[in-house]
């Protein structure tokens, strides 16, 4: 009998093809997160689980999954998984680092450019039939070149954003838990203190993981330090920003604008105050959503599963099981 693997959404065939010869696969086919009550039933007897970042894999789920050997998160962030609990239960956890770096950095830059150059407003203006002539004063935006981008979290994705920023002629500063001198030299980025970054940057882009230390890292006090013209971009996790403080900062024009691929809560309800603000652009967590990247994410998740169900070290591990 093949080992049972549950996947909490239909993933790309690149992943399914890896698993099919070796596993008995069941999928959650609906295009919404699997309800917790159903997940609690589905994990009974499975050896491997491919989970989405929207699925909390907590003590309760793990307690129901007595045969579980491996959880492969479909993505790089794994704040949805209780890693300590998995490790205690000798369940391997894997993710998909590296493969989505460029796609996510591209999207951060797309948000930055869209806001700086008022692309959304421009498109709307044309669609509404208001474009009657060339105008020297129409939709004046912000330059990127010679401006400073502040990158919070200087891992793979933060560094990829830095490289893009350099290509646009920007000055790059970053704040991170540790200094990266080699990368600084390579890219021409400068490490600064967190508060200095907030005060100095014209554009701020968030690329830190969500941890107890980074939860609500950007709150009232941070907004007070930012420039009035600052544009904030978040492609990391919604909870890194204190949403109430962000709403106030945008409403009072304490900062110029925000571009969010991730929010807290996620998704945002239709009547959420952020969606009523002209200076806030929200897109639905699509940082890694390109054909090639998602195919690779699916494949890497599947490879983590295959190793885990065989009791082997994962190719892309998050925890270590002795
Ligand atoms: C997406 O947000 C990911 O963590 O891969």
How many domains are there within the chain? 2
Asked whether residue 78 falls in the same domain as residue 224, the answer is no
Distance 138 CA to ligand 1 centre (A): 37
CATH number, domain of 63, equals 3.40.50.720
Q: What is the pLDDT of residues 77-122, one digit of tens each?
A: 999 999 999 999 999 999 999 999 999 999 999 999 999 999 999 9
Are residues 221 and 129 part of one domain?
yes
Q: Ligand 1 pocket test: pick from 101, 286, 287 the residue with the most ligand atoms within 8 Å of its Cβ.
A: 287
Same domain, 305 and 267: no
Residue 76 CA to ligand 1 centre (angstroms) = 5
DSSP 61: H
* 171-180 mean pLDDT: 97
User: Do 140 and 258 have their domain in common?
Assistant: yes
Over range 120-149, report the average pLDDT: 98
Q: Residue 322's pLDDT band (boundaries 50, 70, 90)?
A: confident
Q: Which long-range contacts (CB under 8 A, 24 or more apart) does 41-44 make?
A: 42/6, 43/6, 43/68
Task: Kindly state the percentage of the chain with pLDDT values over 90.
Answer: 99
Are residue 124 and residue 269 in the same domain, yes or no?
Answer: yes
Q: What ranges make up the beta strands (E) of 8-90?
A: 24-27, 48-51, 70-73
Q: Which residues are catalytic?
A: 237, 266, 285
Q: For the chain, what percent of residues have pLDDT higher than 70?
A: 100
Half-sphere exposure of 63 (CA within 13 A, CB side): 3
* Ligand 1 atom at minimal distance to the Cα of residue 74: 5
Q: Nearest residue CA, atom 5 of ligand 1?
A: 75
Residue 305: closest CA among 317, 293, 295, 320: 317
90 and 26, same structural domain? yes
Which among 76, 160, 283 is the best mutation to test ligand 1's pocket, defined by most ligand atoms within 8 Å of the CB?
Answer: 76
Distance 77 CA to ligand 1 centre (A): 5
Distance CA 317, CA 170 (A): 35
What is the structure's pLDDT at 26?
A: 98
Q: Cis (ω within 30 of 0) for the bond into 265?
A: yes
What is the average pLDDT across 54-82? 98
Instruction: State how far the Cα of 30 lies from the Cα of 43, in Å rounded to an integer.
Output: 17
Q: Distance between CA 263 and CA 283 in Å, rounded? A: 9
Residues 118 and 238 in one domain: yes
Q: Tens digits of per-residue pLDDT, 254-274?
A: 999 999 999 999 999 999 999
Average pLDDT over residues 37-60: 98
Atom of ligand 1 nearest to the CA of 77: 4
Atom of ligand 1 nearest to the CA of 78: 4
What is the pLDDT of the chain when averaged over all its residues?
Answer: 98
137: domain range? 101-282
On whether residue 214 sits in a domain, the answer given is yes
The Å distance, Cα 263 to ligand 1 centre, comes to: 13
Residue 41 phi/psi, 5-degree rounding, is: -75, -45
Q: Which residues surround ligand 1 with Cβ inside 6 Å?
A: 53, 75-77, 100, 287-288
Q: Are 194 and 177 in contact (CB under 8 A)?
A: no
What is the DSSP code (8-state) at residue 186?
I
Together in a domain, 118 and 263: yes
Q: Are residues 121 and 142 in the same domain?
A: yes
Asked if residues 72 and 305 have their Cβ atoms less than 8 Å apart, the reply is yes
Per-residue model confidence as pLDDT tens digits over 295-307: 999 999 999 999 9
277 plus 209 within the same structural domain: yes
Is it true that the peptide bond before 315 is cis, omega within 30 degrees of 0? no
Whole-angstrom distance, CA of residue 134 vs CA of residue 160: 36
Tell me the C-alpha distance between 250 and 113, whole Å.
Answer: 18
Tell me the sheet residues that pair with 50: 7, 72
- Domain check: are 119 and 220 in the same one? yes
Nearest residue by C-alpha to atom 1 in ligand 1: 75
Alpha carbon of 298 to ligand 1 centroid (Å): 12
Whether 92 and 116 map to the same domain: the answer is no
262 CA closest ligand 1 atom index: 2
Long-range interactions of 224-229: CB distance < 8 A, separation 24+: 224/254, 225/195, 225/198, 225/199, 226/198, 226/199, 226/201, 226/254, 226/255, 227/199, 227/201, 227/202, 227/255, 228/253, 228/254, 228/255, 228/256, 229/142, 229/202, 229/255, 229/256
Q: Which two structure tokens, joined as six digits, stand for 289? A: 């959503």
């Amino acid at each position: 009998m093949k080992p049972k693997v549950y996947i909490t959404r239909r993933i790309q065939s690149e992943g399914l093809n890896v698993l099919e010869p070796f596993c008995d696969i069941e999928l959650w086919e609906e295009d919404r997160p699997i309800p917790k009550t159903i997940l609690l039933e589905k994990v009974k007897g499975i050896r491997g689980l491919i989970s989405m970042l929207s699925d909390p894999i907590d003590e309760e789920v793990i307690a129901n999954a007595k045969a579980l050997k491996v959880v492969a998160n479909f993505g790089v962030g794994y704040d949805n998984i209780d890693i300590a609990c998995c490790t205690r239960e000798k369940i391997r956890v894997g993710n998909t680092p590296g493969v989505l770096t460029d796609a996510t950095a591209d999207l951060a830059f797309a948000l930055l450019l869209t806001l700086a150059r008022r692309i959304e407003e421009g498109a709307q203006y044309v669609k509404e039939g208001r474009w009657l002539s060339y105008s020297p004063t129409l939709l004046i935006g912000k330059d990127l070149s010679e401006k400073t981008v502040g990158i919070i979290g200087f891992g793979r994705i933060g560094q990829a954003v830095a490289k893009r920023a350099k290509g646009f002629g920007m000055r790059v500063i970053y704040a991170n838990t540790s200094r990266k001198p080699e990368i600084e030299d390579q890219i021409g980025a400068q490490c600064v203190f967190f508060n200095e970054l907030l005060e100095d940057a014209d554009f701020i882009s968030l690329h830190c993981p969500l941890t107890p230390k980074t939860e609500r890292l950007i709150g009232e006090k941070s907004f007070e330090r930012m420039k009035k013209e600052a544009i904030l971009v978040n492609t990391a996790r919604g909870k890194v920003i204190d949403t109430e403080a962000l709403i106030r900062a945008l409403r009072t024009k304490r900062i110029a604008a925000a571009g969010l691929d991730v929010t807290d809560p996620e998704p945002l309800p239709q009547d959420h105050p952020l969606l009523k603000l002209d200076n806030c652009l929200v897109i639905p967590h699509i940082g890694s959503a390109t054909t090639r990247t998602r195919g690779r994410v699916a494949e890497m998740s599947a490879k983590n599963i295959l190793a885990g169900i065989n009791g082997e070290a994962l190719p892309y591990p998050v925890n270590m099981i002795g």
